[in-house]
Structure formats: C-alpha cells, structure tokens
C-alpha cells in the first residue's frame, strides 16, 4: 500500500499554489507509505502541476522511489499497487528500445504508456491506481485496476483546477472541495457499506471507476475511458468434475505465485475459514513452511472462537509460524 496525490492549480492572483497544497495532502496519507516521500512539479501556460508519492517499499527497495520518469523525464508517474506481469512486459519494452534504470514494476507502466497510451493499460495484470503526467502533451492521466482494488479519488475545481488522491480525506486540503454531502453516495454507503463509484459521500469528490482511465488537459476532463480488464474464461459445461478442479487449482496457483513477487517478506492472513486455508495451501506449493508467516486476529466475544481454533490447527498441520493480534478493542 502506497499513497499518491496530486494537484493542478490555476496560476492567478489569490489562488493557493500547488506545492504547499500537495504537502498537506501527502501529510494526510503518510501512513500509507512510511518508507519515503517524493514530489515532482511542472508548468503549463495557465496551470501549476504538482504530484507526489508516499512509498511503502515492496519491489526494488533501493531505486524505486517515485514520482518516476521515462528516459527524458517528460513522462512521470506516481503509482500505488503491484504489476504481476511486469517482468514479461519489461522484456517486450526493452526489445522495442526502451532503457530501464530501475528494477521496479512502476517503470514498466511509464514505457508502456509511451508505446500505446491508455490502450496499453489493458496489458497490466495487477492491482493499481496511478497518475501519469505527460509533459509534452500537457495531460494528466489517471487509471485504476479492473477490480477496483486500489482506490483513487478526484475533484475538479470551478476554473479547470484538478486534484486526486488515494484517500478522500486528503482532498479536504484542497480549497474548492466542499464538505457538502452527496446523498446518493451516502445512501449507497448506508445500504451496502460503500459509496458506489463514481459517487462518494461528498458532492465535490468522485471516485474513478474500476478499469477506467480519466484524462485532464488544459482544464477539461474527458469522459472515463474503459481500457479493458477482466476476461471471461468460463469452464466448459462438458468438463468433468476432475477437470474443473484441476483447472481451478492451476489458476489459483498462478494467481498466488504472482502475489509472492516481492523484495520483502510476504505473509498470510489466516482466519481459519475456507478461503484463507486454500490460500495458505497454495502458498506452500511455492514456499517452504519455514518461510511462511501467518497472522490471525482475536476479536474476543465478537469473533467466532471456532475460527481461531481452526486457524491454529491449520498452522500446526502445515508447520508454519503464526502471530495472534489482540483486536478486541476494534
């Protein structure tokens, strides 16, 4: 989990400059990325642009700081997430003449954008929310993964200004963002526990829809553009039960293996339920039990005690380490 934020302000008297506002926004989301902070600034004829990043280092711990640019620095990205197929994308992009200076998955997105623009995002296999500033074309492009795993909020001001962030509360530092409620978003929140994108609980803030990109240029926003995402790979009704089981297991194994791509240790949240038990078993196909750390939460009377018992039995069966966190106060 990292934090991204940015603001585009109009250069007119009496309007707060972009950089100090970005500082306030990044301070709000610092807990999302305690390993480092970075900023980049640009200018257009009428606007100041500032984008920043709060980093939680997962891949390329040494040289993966953001915002990160292409060879010329004309294209810059601030990115939250992980791209699982970046090694294969990197090989393709290198064959096209692109030069990489880091080992991070982030840089792959920059060069992919250079080659194919928004349409290239459909090749990304991962969870992500990012913003790309194209200094040659003076455009800001936002994008979010097809499942909507990583959040991305934005707001447009009355004079073409624009701001985005990983968290809604970071946008409260922006002068034109009001606290007036969005009743449709509030109704969604109270009925289904979340505000359905593109609405939020605030009238002046929107949430980018999953699998979509949004482009700002010279004070104007494009309509959200679907760039692709989830593909339908249904099982053949004629398949036997054994074939379906083998196919499902193989797909699950590939998905779990991709999640293990990291330069820091990866653990498993173990509730004792079926889903986390299956994930742990699949994890152990790729790692020795001595390398695996599990974490469970004890909610006291709010929690089903049988789940903790099941979690402990799973740890004992697979001979993996475990940590129990007291969450009774939550």
Active-site residue set: 2
Residue showing tokens 């995402």: 229
Q: Evaluate whether 267 touches 240 at the Cβ level (below 8 Å).
A: no
Residues 272, 148, 117, 21: is their CA dihedral positive or negative? Answer: negative
Cα–Cα nearest to 177, from 187, 167, 163: 163
Residues 250, 255, 256, 257: is their CA dihedral positive or negative? Answer: positive
Query: DSSP strand E in 46-185: where?
Result: 47-55, 68-69, 75-83, 126-134, 139-144, 153-156, 162-165
Q: Evaluate whether 81 touches 104 at the Cβ level (below 8 Å).
A: no
Strand partners, 143: 130, 213
């Amino acid at each position: 989990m990292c934090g991204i934020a940015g603001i585009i302000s109009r250069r007119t008297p009496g309007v707060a400059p972009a950089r100090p506002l970005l500082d306030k926004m990044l301070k709000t989301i610092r807990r999302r990325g305690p390993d480092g902070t970075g900023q980049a600034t640009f200018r257009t004829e009428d606007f100041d642009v500032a984008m920043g990043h709060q980093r939680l280092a997962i891949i390329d711990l040494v040289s993966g700081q953001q915002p990160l640019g292409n060879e010329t620095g004309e294209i810059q990205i601030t990115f939250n997430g992980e791209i699982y197929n970046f090694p294969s994308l990197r090989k393709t992009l290198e064959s096209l003449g692109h030069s990489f200076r880091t080992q991070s998955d982030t840089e792959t997105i920059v060069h992919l954008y250079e080659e194919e623009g928004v349409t290239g995002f459909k090749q990304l296999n991962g969870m992500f929310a990012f913003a790309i500033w194209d200094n040659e074309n003076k455009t800001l492009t936002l994008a979010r993964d097809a499942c909507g795993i990583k959040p991305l909020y934005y707001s447009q001001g009355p004079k073409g200004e624009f701001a985005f962030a990983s968290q809604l509360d970071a946008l409260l530092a922006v002068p034109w963002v009001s606290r007036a409620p969005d009743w449709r978003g509030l109704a969604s929140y109270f009925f289904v526990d979340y505000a359905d994108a593109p609405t939020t609980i605030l009238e002046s803030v929107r949430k980018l829809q999953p699998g979509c990109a949004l482009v700002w240029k010279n004070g104007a926003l494009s309509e959200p553009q679907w760039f692709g995402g989830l593909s339908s790979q249904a099982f053949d009704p004629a398949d036997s039960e054994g074939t379906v089981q083998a196919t499902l297991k193989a797909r699950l194994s590939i998905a779990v293996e991709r999640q293990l791509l990291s330069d820091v240790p990866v653990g498993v949240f173990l509730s004792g339920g079926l889903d986390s038990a299956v994930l742990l078993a699949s994890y152990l196909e790729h790692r020795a039990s001595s390398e695996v750390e599990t974490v469970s939460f004890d909610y006291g009377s709010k929690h089903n005690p049988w789940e903790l018992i099941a979690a402990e039995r799973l740890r004992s069966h697979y001979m993996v380490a475990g940590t129990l966190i007291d969450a009774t106060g939550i």
